[in-house]
């Protein structure tokens, strides 16, 4: 920098050299890059001291962590004067002056002895470093907040500063203030860019991070934050599911930081902070000495670790869910935690909150998947999920047992590939219905890939999105192969039992049935003998022979009808459910029992509804029930000496149901037995098996009907049958 020599021969006014100096300094700082401003300030201070006849100039700037704490950044003085400490804090060495400077006023001191009593510490510092008079000018731009102070000192003598001198000092101070403000603005901009880059990098890293790498990423983020913001200790705490407290889970500490207690939790070491974190408060402590009395445990922990300032931020999601807290600590110097720093830390805390929320959600999803897989694998059913392309996305362990396919290897494969083409063909029509959005239940028969016959009861449930679009199908399959075989065997045994019941019933009628057959046979024999006699005559009467032959044919038909009914009743065939005329079936039963009724003097009456709709059932089985009920009615009458010996068979309709009743004039049923007579092997007959009524109820139940008994108020018992009517036939 080339400036006029203040002692040189110049006939201009003494203000001109200063104005030239001020102009050149201003021009220099205006064009100077921001990263070189600090470098040139010291040189400028030296020239200012020389031209304004002062010994020392010091320049103090506010710290990044506390805008009200000024630290000595630049100074110029003679080598003979004692050097200031490397990191000199104006608040500590000049407390009174610091307060005055923050008010924005220039302080003029002609004699340090004139300082007020409350400036004792300031006066002591002046004398220690040889200052006898001083002018201190705040550094600020316009009406903005003061961010520093520059002093101009006389060490040789007390000095009465003229107004012009003070004004010159203020003009020089303004040049420095403008330069430093520009530097601070550019530094703030760079700092914001660095922070935004840091925030973006950390956020981006967590976006697609696998769950098993989240912990490492959190610790790396804490390290980068600490290094970027000059924080020696960064701690992340999470709520413990075991203890319910805030436990330390991640940390970054500088090399100078002492080891931390282990284990470490907020409840034990920072109980005062814990209450405020739980309430969602942000805690900033500039000096641990400012902690309240109830924070004695927190203060003890800070002193043990060497913390001078700390900040706690809760990690809370928007819906109020708390994941823990993050704390930042300064060990070397105190921090006022300005709003700019706290705002940045809050943004970083939100990144951690989002990462922990996603991590917790991922963990919960994995746990839910594990529980779901445990449950689905424990169930003896096929459980799977397929996409619209019918490729598996989920399979339970049953696929390994049924199809020999590992659930993991089944993913991405089609149903046809896993279950087999034949099985897929049987399922395809139902799958197509399910793909159209219909919930389908069906039974499938086929062979699996390994050739095993399989009967499957399948449920296809569409998974639809909010707009009704198909996301996939939930499939539940129950292996009913063994069940169907067991049901088939049970039906076979039941048919055998029903057939045996019919044989037993007819066995009880063998006498009367033999009479029904012997009568037409005797008539046939008599007519045949008569025909022989007529034909042996010399002139046989052929007309009489023809009448005899007609009688033989009639009796033969009569005997044939009895045998046909017996064969029909005793035939051993599968149950055939179809619409039938219940009245006609009952008339046939009445014919079979006609002889037995006459033999025991029992009157049998039929009161059949001529408009009775068809009933849906198996004719032989329903006749077996009615035959059993009527024969039981005969037995009840035989066992008592009732004056009236009658059995009445009735039918009628009631809505969509058909009812039939068998009423006898016997002694009725004992009240304590009426609930037991339908139980298997329960009988009141000396030689009974107790199967008749049990079989009857089973048959009626199989027909989706009901069989029950009541006592007739006028004497005897009534057995009721209720059956569904056959649906009306579709018109051609």
pLDDT, tens digit, 9 for 90 and up, residues 222-275: 999 998 888 999 999 998 877 888 899 999 998 888 888 888 888 899 999 999
Asked if pLDDT for residue 3 goes beyond 50, the answer is no
Look at residue 503 in the predicted model and tell me its pLDDT.
Answer: 55
What is the C-alpha separation between 440 and 430, in angstroms, rounded?
Answer: 7
Q: Where in the chain is the domain with CATH 1.20.120?
A: 489-574
Instruction: Select from 2, 37, 7 the least CA-distant residue to 20.
Output: 2
Compute the half-sphere exposure of residue 680: CA atoms within 13 Å on the CB side of its CA.
Answer: 4
Can you spell out the DSSP letters for 552-612?
HHHHHHHHHHHHHHHHHHH-------EEE-HHHHHHHHHHHTHHHHHHTT-EEEEE--TTP
Asked if pLDDT for residue 12 goes beyond 50, the answer is no
Superfamily of domain 209-364: GAF domain (3.30.450.40)
How close are the terminal C-alpha atoms of the chain, in Å? Answer: 118
What is the C-alpha separation between 276 and 295, in angstroms, rounded?
Answer: 11
Instruction: Select from 383, 243, 239, 253 the least CA-distant residue to 321.
Output: 239
Look at residue 1 in the predicted model and tell me its pLDDT.
Answer: 37
Look at residue 4 in the predicted model and tell me its pLDDT.
Answer: 39
What is the C-alpha separation between 576 and 619, in angstroms, rounded?
Answer: 8
Q: What average pLDDT does this structure show over 544-562?
A: 64
Name the band, by pLDDT with cuts 50, 70 and 90, for residue 283.
very high
Residue 330: φ, ψ to 5°? -105, 130
Average pLDDT, the chain: 82
Fold classification of 15-188 (topology level): Beta-Lactamase (3.30.450)
Q: Where in the chain is the domain with CATH 3.30.450.40?
A: 15-188, 209-364
Asked if pLDDT for residue 640 goes beyond 60, the answer is yes
Q: Does CATH place domain 489-574 in 1.10.10? A: no
Look at residue 34 in the predicted model and tell me its pLDDT.
Answer: 82
What is the C-alpha separation between 516 and 562, in angstroms, rounded?
Answer: 7
Look at residue 545 in the predicted model and tell me its pLDDT.
Answer: 66
Q: What average pLDDT does this structure show over 306-334?
A: 88
Look at residue 80 in the predicted model and tell me its pLDDT.
Answer: 85
Q: What average pLDDT does this structure show over 314-330?
A: 88
Look at residue 8 in the predicted model and tell me its pLDDT.
Answer: 41
Asked if pLDDT for residue 135 goes beyond 90, the answer is yes
Q: What average pLDDT does this structure show over 86-101?
A: 90
Asked if pLDDT for residue 6 goes beyond 50, the answer is no
Look at residue 527 in the predicted model and tell me its pLDDT.
Answer: 62
Asked if pLDDT for residue 23 goes beyond 50, the answer is yes
492 versus 95: which is more confidently predicted? 95
Q: Where in the chain is the domain with CATH 3.30.450.20?
A: 379-479
What pTM was estimated for this model as a whole?
Answer: 0.53
Q: Does CATH place domain 577-732 in 3.30.565.10? A: yes
What is the C-alpha separation between 718 and 715, in angstroms, rounded?
Answer: 9
Q: What average pLDDT does this structure show over 662-688?
A: 72
Fold classification of 379-479 (topology level): Beta-Lactamase (3.30.450)
Asked if pLDDT for residue 501 goes beyond 60, the answer is no
């Amino acid at each position: 920098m080339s400036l006029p020599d203040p002692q040189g021969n110049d006939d201009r006014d003494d203000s001109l050299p200063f104005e030239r100096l001020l102009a050149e300094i201003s021009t220099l700082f205006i064009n100077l890059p921001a990263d070189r401003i600090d470098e040139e300030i010291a040189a400028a201070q030296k020239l200012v001291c020389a031209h304004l006849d002062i010994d020392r100039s010091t320049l103090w700037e506010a710290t990044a962590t506390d805008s009200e704490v000024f630290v000595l950044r630049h100074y110029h003085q003679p080598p003979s004067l004692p050097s200031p400490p490397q990191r000199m804090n104006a608040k500590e060495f000049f407390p009174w002056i610091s307060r005055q400077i923050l008010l924005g006023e220039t302080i003029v001191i002609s004699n340090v002895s004139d300082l007020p009593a409350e400036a004792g510490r300031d006066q002591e510092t002046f004398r220690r470093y040889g200052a006898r008079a001083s002018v201190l000018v705040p550094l600020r731009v316009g009406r903005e907040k003061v961010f520093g102070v520059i002093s101009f000192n006389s060490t040789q003598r007390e000095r009465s500063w003229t107004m012009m001198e003070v004004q010159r000092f203020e003009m020089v101070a303004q040049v420095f203030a403008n330069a430093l403000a520009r530097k601070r603005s550019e530094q703030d901009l760079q700092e914001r860019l660095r922070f935004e880059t840091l925030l973006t990098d950390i956020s981006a890293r967590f976006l697609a991070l696998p769950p098993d790498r989240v912990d490492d990423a959190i610790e790396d983020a804490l390290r980068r934050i600490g290094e970027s913001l000059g924080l020696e200790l960064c701690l992340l705490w999470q709520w413990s599911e075991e203890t319910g407290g805030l436990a330390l889970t991640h940390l970054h500490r500088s090399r100078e930081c002492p080891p931390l207690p282990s284990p470490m939790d907020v409840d034990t070491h920072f109980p005062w902070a814990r209450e405020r974190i739980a309430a969602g408060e942000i805690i900033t402590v500039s000096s641990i000495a400012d902690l309240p009395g109830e924070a004695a445990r927190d203060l003890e922990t800070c002193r043990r670790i060497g913390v001078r300032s700390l900040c706690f931020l809760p990690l809370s999601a928007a819906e109020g869910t708390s994941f823990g807290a993050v704390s930042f600590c300064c060990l070397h110097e105190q921090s006022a935690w300005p709003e700019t720093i706290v705002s940045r830390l809050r943004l970083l805390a939100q990144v951690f909150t989002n990462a922990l929320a996603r991590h917790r959600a991922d963990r919960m999803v994995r746990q839910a998947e594990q529980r779901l897989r445990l449950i689905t694998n424990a169930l003896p059913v096929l459980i799977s999920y397929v996409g619209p392309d019918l490729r598996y996305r989920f399979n339970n362990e049953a696929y390994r047992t049924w199809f020999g396919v590992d659930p993991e290897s089944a993913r991405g494969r089609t149903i046809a590939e896993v279950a087999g083409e034949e099985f897929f063909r049987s399922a395809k029509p139902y799958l197509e219905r399910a793909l159209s959005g219909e919930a389908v239940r069906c039974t499938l028969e086929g062979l699996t890939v390994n050739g095993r016959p399989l009967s499957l009861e399948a449920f296809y449930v569409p998974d639809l999105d909010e707009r009704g679009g198909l996301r996939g199908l939930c499939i539940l399959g129950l292996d009913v192969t063994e069940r169907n075989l067991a049901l088939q065997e049970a039906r076979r045994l039941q048919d055998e039992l029903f057939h045996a019941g019919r044989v037993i019933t007819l066995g009880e009628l063998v006498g009367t049935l033999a009479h029904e057959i012997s009568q037409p046979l005797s008539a046939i024999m008599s007519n045949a003998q008569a025909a022989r006699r007529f034909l042996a005559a010399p002139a046989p009467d052929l007309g009489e022979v023809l009448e005899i032959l007609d009688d033989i044919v009639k009796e033969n038909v009569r005997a044939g009808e009895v045998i046909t009914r017996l064969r029909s009743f005793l035939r051993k065939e599968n149950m055939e459910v179809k619409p039938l005329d219940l009245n006609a079936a009952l008339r046939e039963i009445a014919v079979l029992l006609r002889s037995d009724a006459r033999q025991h003097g029992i009157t049998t009456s039929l009161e059949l509804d001529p408009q009775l709709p068809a009933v849906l059932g198996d004719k032989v089985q329903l006749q077996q029930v009615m035959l059993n009920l009527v024969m039981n009615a005969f037995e009840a009458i035989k066992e008592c000496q009732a004056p009236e010996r009658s059995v009445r068979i009735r039918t009628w309709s009631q809505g969509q149901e058909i009812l039939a009743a068998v009423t006898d004039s016997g002694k009725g049923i004992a009240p304590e037995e009426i609930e037991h007579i339908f139980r298997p092997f329960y009988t009141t007959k000396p030689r009974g098996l107790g199967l008749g009524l049990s079989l009857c109820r089973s048959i009626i139940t199989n027909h989706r009907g009901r069989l029950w008994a009541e006592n007739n108020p006028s004497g005897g018992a009534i057995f009721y049958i209720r059956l569904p009517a056959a649906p009306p036939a579709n018109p051609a």
